[in-house]
């Protein structure tokens, strides 16, 4: 393909030396990934804090027997003074207080945090239960097999932050890349110059698409690397590789949208303004900053009109949610359809020069 | 000698505007041909049609024996077009620009690099185009048009916005290219440039060619008076009017100017009176011809 290699190289150098493009397409979203990853990446439930009033032999025995497991969920503080202990619970400093009078164990809790109150009751309940079983000396009728963890449908924050921020980075790099190239090459006369060379025009487009896909793969690699660092803790699920075709289809879709904007815009400035106006609502409505599952219904409905939704969702399914490879196929289909439609519009609007 | 460009009865309209209105001319192989005219005269449209960027409404065009429209990949490597000096890939160096443009034509890197010598940019090889001066960028744009050694070269205002040194420098480059046997078509506003470089010029206005021929012939045919000026005080105005052949005399206190259509008689009379201190003799220039043909009214 004549001219393809050298034009790709020229575009690659132009991109690599463009500090602003590098910043907005890579560093800026990466900064948000680091920020959100640090803030929410390890959001797990805090331990339940319980006061032992005086001596509670049942509790002490449970701690002796299953110390390590219990210590994961329970922090026990001893108080001799009953009224001081209840005051602590009342103020919400402690989640519950346990006392034992003879064979009766009583749990005091505050309704301020119902989840923790429930946790305290059920933990103490099961401790009492197992104490009864031990006392009776008979083997329990029912036994609990070793617990099996089910893949969590309510995601750890980093699992959706990563595809969301990556989707933002990919879509803005692709749209800026296509629109800027088209406008600047047209206004500067480079398109005209290329038209006067024997290189087939499709090679010029092929070069632009190839460079953008390459940049996108680098962005993806950098994001996944950073998000998997221990401090952020992204866990890629089995079919994460399926996110590569999602990324490629998404980049093609946004390149075509960028081409429409670039063909329509008269100047670099107007192209940039339009892209900024497209990106910001799109990033919010497309689920880059918060998961759409918890969003109000109207927003979920609107999000189906936002191309970024399909890129984010496709990546999230295979990379964050741990769904199978086929789960990204509908999104890839929609992205390719967007590519087709936007390309046709872009070709119709395309102009060689400004006159 | 064969004809490199043949244009016959060319027409092109934009709406009601007849940008090119029945233009015919031919450019010989190896010729340096200039197209002159005020803004909006139709120069650019004619060039774009010849280069194959636009389709003519009517008439015939043949470039190197081939029709330029529709886009003809067999013809394109044989022509070189210099565009505005901004038509470069962003953030590439001089060397990278030339190699990229060269590779579009299959020109090896070493040959592309050699082009930097031709236009005197070898010491700017690793400078990004955004940091080149106006003259350097202009020379680079010409180098980019020449990198594939085309037989026919189109230059659009090549010396616009250059300082006098850079212009002389550029003219030397252009003459060198022409001497190698390449045909050059030049559009320009600068009459001195056309007069110095071009073998023939066509003066256009309103989409038509008004006159065509070698600059010297066109100027001579204008039959404009010659202006002889000497320092004021060498002769009085009265004495000057008495000179045989003097048509008009004026004195602004610095120079005494005599206009005449018989300069030999006037100058020999002045020589006999030993009145040639600081003499300057101005014939008509292409500019005079241009203004006579196209008028002095402002153009868009």
Entry pTM? 0.74
Using the predicted structure, report yes or no on whether residue A183 has a pLDDT greater than 60.
Answer: yes
Q: Rounded to whole angstroms, what are the CA distances from A85 to A93, A127, A162, B65, B101?
A: 10, 21, 44, 104, 83
B86 touching A (Cβ < 8 Å): yes
Tokens coding B257: 């100017």
β-partners of residue B28 are B3
Identify the helix (H) or strand (E) that includes residue A132: helix A114-136
Q: In percent, how much of chain A has pLDDT > 90?
A: 32
Angle, helices B109-118 vs B134-146, to 10°: value is 130
Confidence band of A153 (pLDDT split at 50, 70, 90)? very low
Q: Which of residues 174-213 of B touch A (CB under 8 A)?
A: none
A198 touching B (Cβ < 8 Å): yes
Angstroms from A179 CA to nearest CA on chain B? 14
Residue B79 φ/ψ, nearest 5 degrees: -120, 150
Confidence band of A151 (pLDDT split at 50, 70, 90)? very low
Instruction: Average the pLDDT over A31-44 and give the result.
Output: 75
B84 contact residues in A (CB cutoff 8 A): 188-189
Task: Indicate the residue of A9, A18, A188 with minimum beta-carbon distance to B91.
Answer: A18
Tokens coding B266: 């006037």
The answer to which of A185-194, A218-227, A312-321, B279-288 has the lowest mean pLDDT is B279-288
Reported as a single tens digit per residue, the pLDDT across A238-287 is: 788 999 999 999 999 999 999 999 999 999 899 999 999 999 899 989 98
For residues A322 and A153, give the distance between their C-alpha atoms in angstroms, rounded to a whole number.
10
A18 contact residues in B (CB cutoff 8 A): 90-91
Which residue does chain A place closest to B99, by CA atoms? A6
| CB A307, CB A252: distance < 8 Å | no
Q: Do B96 and A13 touch (CB under 8 A)?
A: yes
Angstroms from A197 CA to nearest CA on chain B? 6
Categorise residue A251: left if φ over 0, alpha if ψ from -120 to 50, beta otherwise.
alpha
Tokens coding B103: 């590779």
B87 contact residues in A (CB cutoff 8 A): 188-190, 192-193
A14 touching B (Cβ < 8 Å): yes
Q: How many Cα atoms occupy the beta-carbon half-sphere of B111 within 13 Å?
A: 11
The answer to which of A71-75, A265-269, B71-75, B241-245 has the lowest mean pLDDT is A71-75
3 state SS of A178: helix
End-to-end CA distance of chain B: 39
B53 contact residues in A (CB cutoff 8 A): 192, 195-196, 352-353
B86 contact residues in A (CB cutoff 8 A): 188-189
Task: Indicate the residue of A190, A192, A199 with minimum beta-carbon distance to B53.
Answer: A192
CA B106, B108, B111 angle in degrees (round to 5)?
120
Using the predicted structure, report yes or no on whether residue B220 has a pLDDT greater than 70.
Answer: yes
Give, in words, the CATH class of A48-149: alpha beta
Reported as a single tens digit per residue, the pLDDT across A211-250 is: 999 999 999 999 999 988 888 888 887 788 999 999 999 9
Q: Do A195 and B99 touch (CB under 8 A)?
A: no
Q: Do A188 and B84 touch (CB under 8 A)?
A: yes
Using the predicted structure, report yes or no on whether residue B251 has a pLDDT greater than 50.
Answer: yes
Other residues' Cβ atoms within 10 Å of the Cβ of residue A175: 30
Instruction: Average the pLDDT over B151-173 and give the result.
Output: 84
Q: Report pLDDT for A148.
A: 53
Using the predicted structure, report yes or no on whether residue A337 has a pLDDT greater than 70.
Answer: yes
Q: Report pLDDT for B243.
A: 86
Instruction: Average the pLDDT over A84-110 and give the result.
Output: 84
End-to-end CA distance of chain A: 30
Angstroms from A198 CA to nearest CA on chain B? 5
For residues A58 and A50, give the distance between their C-alpha atoms in angstroms, rounded to a whole number.
14
The alpha carbon of residue A303 and the mean position of all alpha carbons in its chain are separated, in whole angstroms, by 16
| CB A48, CB A127: distance < 8 Å | no
Which residue does chain B place closest to A196, by CA atoms? B76
Q: Where are the domains of chain A?
A: 48-149, 158-349
Confidence band of B12 (pLDDT split at 50, 70, 90)? very high
What mean pLDDT value characterizes chain A? 85
CA torsion sign for A255, A256, A259, A264 is negative
Q: Which residue would you say has higher pLDDT here, B163 or A212? A: A212
Q: Report pLDDT for A214.
A: 93
Categorise residue A353: left if φ over 0, alpha if ψ from -120 to 50, beta otherwise.
beta
Q: Which residues contact A40 (CB under 8 A, 6 or more apart)?
A: A157, A158, A161
Confidence band of A117 (pLDDT split at 50, 70, 90)? confident
Instruction: Average the pLDDT over A30-43 and give the result.
Output: 77
Instruction: Average the pLDDT over A319-331 and give the result.
Output: 87
A291-297 contacts, C-beta under 8 A, 24 or more apart: A291/A155, A291/A160
From the candidates A13, A22, A207, which should be mutated to test the interface with B, based on the most B CB atoms within 10 A?
A13
Angstroms from A355 CA to nearest CA on chain B? 11
A125-131 contacts, C-beta under 8 A, 24 or more apart: A127/A58, A127/A59, A127/A62, A128/A58, A130/A62, A131/A58, A131/A61, A131/A62
Q: Which of residues 14-53 of B touch A (CB under 8 A)?
A: 51-53
B89 contact residues in A (CB cutoff 8 A): 10-11, 14, 190
3 state SS of A131: helix
| CB A274, CB A176: distance < 8 Å | no
| CB B115, CB B151: distance < 8 Å | no
Q: Do A189 and B84 touch (CB under 8 A)?
A: yes
Q: Report pLDDT for A277.
A: 92
For residues B209 and B156, give the distance between their C-alpha atoms in angstroms, rounded to a whole number.
18
What is the Rg, in whole angstroms, of the alpha carbon atoms belonging to chain A?
Answer: 29
Identify the helix (H) or strand (E) that includes residue B209: strand B208-213
Reported as a single tens digit per residue, the pLDDT across B96-111 is: 999 999 999 999 999 9
A184 contact residues in B (CB cutoff 8 A): 90
Reported as a single tens digit per residue, the pLDDT across B100-140 is: 999 999 999 999 999 898 888 889 999 999 999 888 888 89
| CB A289, CB A162: distance < 8 Å | no
B247 touching A (Cβ < 8 Å): no
Q: Which residue would you say has higher pLDDT here, A46 or B3? A: B3
Tokens coding A49: 């804090």
Q: Report pLDDT for A315.
A: 93
Other residues' Cβ atoms within 10 Å of the Cβ of residue B160: 15
What DSSP line would sit under A246-272, residue for residue? HHHHHHHHHHHHHHHHHHH-SSHHHHH
Q: Report pLDDT for A134.
A: 76
Q: Do B104 and A3 touch (CB under 8 A)?
A: yes
Task: Indicate the residue of A188, A196, A198 with minimum beta-carbon distance to B51.
Answer: A196
Angstroms from B109 CA to nearest CA on chain A? 11
β-partners of residue A53 are A79
What mean pLDDT value characterizes chain B? 87
Q: Which of A240, A254, A241, A327 is nearest to A286 (CA)?
A: A254
Q: Do B89 and A199 touch (CB under 8 A)?
A: no
What is the arrangement of strands in the sheet containing A104-109, beginning at the earlier edge strand?
Answer: A74-79, A48-53, A96-101, A104-109
ipTM of the complex: 0.81
């Amino acid at each position: 393909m004549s001219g393809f290699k050298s034009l790709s190289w020229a575009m690659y150098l132009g991109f690599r030396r463009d500090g602003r493009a590098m910043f907005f397409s890579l560093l800026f979203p990466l900064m948000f990934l680091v920020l959100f990853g640090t803030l929410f990446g390890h959001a797990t439930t805090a331990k339940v804090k319980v006061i032992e009033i005086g001596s509670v032999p049942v509790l002490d025995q449970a701690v002796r027997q299953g110390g390590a497991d219990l210590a994961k969920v329970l922090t026990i503080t001893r108080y001799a003074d009953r009224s001081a202990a209840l005051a602590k619970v009342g103020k919400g400093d402690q989640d519950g207080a346990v006392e034992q009078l003879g064979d009766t164990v009583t749990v005091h809790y505050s309704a301020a945090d119902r989840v923790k109150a429930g946790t305290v009751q059920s933990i103490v309940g099961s401790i009492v239960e197992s104490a009864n079983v031990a006392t009776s000396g008979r083997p329990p009728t029912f036994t609990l097999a070793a617990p099996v963890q089910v893949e969590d449908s309510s995601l750890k924050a980093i699992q959706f932050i990563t595809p969301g921020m990556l989707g933002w980075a990919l879509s803005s790099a692709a749209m800026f890349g296509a629109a800027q190239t088209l406008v600047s090459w047209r206004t500067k006369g480079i398109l005209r110059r290329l038209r006067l060379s024997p290189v087939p025009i499709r090679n010029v487009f092929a070069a632009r698409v190839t460079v953008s896909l390459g940049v996108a793969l680098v962005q993806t690699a950098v994001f996944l690397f950073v998000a998997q660092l221990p401090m952020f803790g992204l866990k890629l699920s089995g079919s994460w590789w399926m996110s590569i075709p999602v990324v490629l289809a998404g980049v093609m879709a946004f390149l075509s949208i960028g081409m429409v904007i670039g063909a329509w815009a008269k100047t670099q400035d107007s192209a940039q303004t339009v892209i900024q106006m497209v990106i910001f609502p799109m990033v919010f409505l497309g689920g880059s900053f918060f998961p759409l599952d918890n969003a109000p219904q109207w927003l979920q409905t609107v999000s189906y009109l936002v191309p970024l939704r399909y890129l984010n969702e496709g990546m999230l399914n295979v990379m964050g949610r741990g769904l199978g490879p086929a789960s990204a196929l509908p999104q890839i289909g929609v992205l390719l359809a967007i590519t087709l439609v936007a390309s046709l519009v872009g070709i119709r609007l395309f102009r060689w020069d400004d006159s | 000698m064969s004809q490199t460009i043949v244009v016959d009865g060319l027409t092109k309209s934009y709406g009601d505007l007849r940008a090119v209105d029945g233009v015919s001319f031919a450019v010989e192989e190896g010729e340096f041909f200039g197209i002159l005219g005020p803004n909006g005269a139709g120069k650019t449209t004619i060039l774009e049609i010849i280069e194959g960027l636009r389709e003519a409404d009517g008439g015939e065009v043949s470039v190197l024996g081939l029709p330029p429209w529709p886009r003809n990949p067999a013809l394109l490597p044989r022509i070189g077009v210099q565009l505005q000096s901004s038509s470069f890939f962003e953030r590439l160096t001089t060397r990278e620009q030339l190699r990229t443009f060269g590779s579009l034509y299959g020109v090896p890197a070493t040959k592309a690099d050699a082009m930097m010598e031709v236009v005197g940019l070898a010491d700017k090889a690793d400078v990004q185009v955004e940091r080149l001066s106006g003259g350097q960028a202009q020379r680079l744009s010409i180098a980019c048009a020449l990198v594939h050694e085309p037989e026919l070269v189109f230059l659009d205002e090549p010396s616009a916005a250059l300082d006098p040194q850079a212009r002389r420098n550029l003219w030397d480059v252009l003459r060198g290219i022409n001497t190698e046997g390449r045909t050059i078509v030049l559009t320009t506003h600068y009459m001195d440039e056309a007069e110095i470089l071009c073998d023939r010029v066509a003066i256009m206005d309103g989409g038509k060619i008004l006159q065509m021929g070698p600059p010297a012939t066109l100027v001579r045919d204008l039959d404009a008076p010659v202006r002889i000026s000497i320092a004021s005080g060498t002769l009085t105005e009265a004495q000057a009017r008495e000179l045989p052949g003097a048509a008009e005399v004026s004195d602004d206190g610095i120079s005494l100017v005599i206009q005449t259509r018989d300069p030999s008689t006037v100058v020999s009379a002045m020589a006999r009176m030993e009145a040639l201190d600081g003499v300057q003799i101005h014939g008509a220039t292409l500019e005079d011809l241009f203004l006579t043909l196209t008028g002095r009214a402002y153009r868009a």
